[in-house]
């Protein structure tokens, strides 16, 4: 068995345009790595600025997106699930990008006198996130097919990758924005969706959203843990440094209402995010 270079795996997934292939390639790398954990190495393959994506969906500016109407209709349900599938597809790329983008900081590669080097566990954590996101995408994609909907049938927006591009030179900024703001926002909004589908007696949708919510708590936690690791290495105060990065890289205020309980499970402290809210 040859070595499995995680940066190569990352670049191969990022360069896969077809959404289902991207998710399935991720799952197959996870399976290979679970079978041969001792063969994993961190190479030096460099990711492109943008990942490959399918021709559809058409990517619109966030404020050009059609409004969702008729809550409770099948059309509104599949439109919402399609929007979440699009977020999960972005999340696959974001997790793999974390692996490859910051590989130069790996302790086996980095200069000896840099204040921060990253252990193998950093890369394995984001690998596990990529695996979860691929699972979430495939759950939604398979479910949408039962309603004769394909990923790409509705337009989507490109807001998520913008955050990745803006933070590609700065690990702390990437962690502060992607898991600790954007994925944490998912914790706030998903319970309302679960409550709505529960009220409609839609158990299949509720089951999928429950899997996603539970695993997203762990993604926020992983982001927060590595952000703290960065702050400790550089001697930054966690709260004020996170707030400064959010003010610099995130447009606008954080939205209420917050899901304080799930945020707390992820180690997000109320005093950190309340001052940034509207
Ligand atoms: Fe996800
Ligand atoms: Fe996630």
Q: What is the pLDDT of residues 211-252, one digit of tens each?
A: 999 999 999 999 999 999 999 999 999 999 999 999 999 989
Q: Which ligand is closest to the CA of 85, given by its number?
A: 1
What is the pLDDT confidence band of residue 11, given thresholds at 50, 70 and 90?
A: very high
Structure-block tokens of residue 36: 């041969």
Taking a C-beta distance cutoff of 8 angstroms, is the pair 175, 254 a contact? no
Check residue 62 and give its pLDDT.
74
Structure-block tokens of residue 179: 């898991």
Distances, alpha carbon 227 to alpha carbons 97, 240, 275, in Å: 16, 12, 19
Structure-block tokens of residue 131: 């695996």
Check residue 70 and give its pLDDT.
66
Taking a C-beta distance cutoff of 8 angstroms, is the pair 4, 39 a contact? yes
Q: Which ligand is closest to the CA of 217, given by its number?
A: 2
234 alpha carbon to ligand 2 midpoint, in Å?
26
What's the predicted TM-score (pTM) here? 0.96
Q: Which ligand is closest to the CA of 87, given by its number?
A: 1
Q: Which residue has the higher pLDDT, 72 or 73?
A: 73
112 alpha carbon to ligand 1 midpoint, in Å?
35
Check residue 111 and give its pLDDT.
78
Q: Looking at the predicted structure, is the pLDDT value of residue 68 above 70?
A: no
Which residue pairs, CB below 8 angstroms and at least 24 apart, start in 35-41? 36/1, 36/4, 39/1, 39/2, 39/3, 39/4, 40/3, 40/4, 40/6, 40/120, 40/124, 41/3, 41/4, 41/5, 41/6
Other beta carbons within 10 angstroms of residue 120's beta carbon come to 14
Interval 178-202 mean pLDDT: 97
Supply the CATH classification number for the domain 71-276.
1.20.1260
90 alpha carbon to ligand 1 midpoint, in Å?
9
Domain ranges (residues) in the chain: 71-276
Q: Looking at the predicted structure, is the pLDDT value of residue 60 above 90?
A: no
């Amino acid at each position: 068995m040859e070595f499995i270079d995680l940066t190569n795996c990352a670049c191969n997934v990022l360069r896969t345009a077809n959404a289902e292939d991207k998710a399935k390639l991720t799952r197959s790398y996870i399976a290979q790595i679970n079978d041969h954990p001792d063969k994993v190495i961190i190479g030096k393959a460099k990711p492109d600025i943008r990942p490959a994506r399918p021709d559809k969906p058409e990517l619109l500016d966030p404020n050009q997106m059609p409004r969702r109407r008729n809550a409770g209709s099948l059309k509104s349900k599949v439109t919402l699930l399609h929007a979440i599938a699009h977020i999960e597809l972005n999340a696959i790329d974001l997790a793999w990008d974390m692996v490859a983008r910051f590989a130069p900081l790996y302790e086996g590669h980095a200069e000896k006198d840099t204040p921060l080097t990253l252990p193998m566990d950093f890369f394995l954590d984001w690998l596990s996130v990529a695996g979860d996101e691929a699972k979430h995408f495939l759950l939604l994609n398979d479910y949408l097919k039962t309603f004769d909907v394909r990923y790409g049938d509705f337009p989507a927006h490109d807001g998520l990758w913008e955050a990745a591009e803006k933070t590609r030179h700065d690990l702390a900024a990437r962690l502060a924005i992607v898991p600790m703001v954007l994925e944490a926002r998912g914790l706030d909004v998903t319970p309302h969706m679960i409550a709505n589908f529960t009220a409609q007696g839609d158990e299949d949708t509720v089951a999928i959203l429950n899997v996603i919510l539970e695993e997203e708590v762990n993604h926020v936690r992983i982001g927060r843990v590595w952000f703290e690791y960065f702050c400790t290495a550089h001697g930054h105060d966690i709260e004020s440094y996170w707030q400064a990065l959010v003010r610099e890289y995130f447009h606008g205020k954080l939205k209420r209402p917050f899901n304080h309980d799930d945020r707390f499970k992820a180690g997000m402290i109320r005093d950190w995010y309340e001052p940034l809210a509207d």
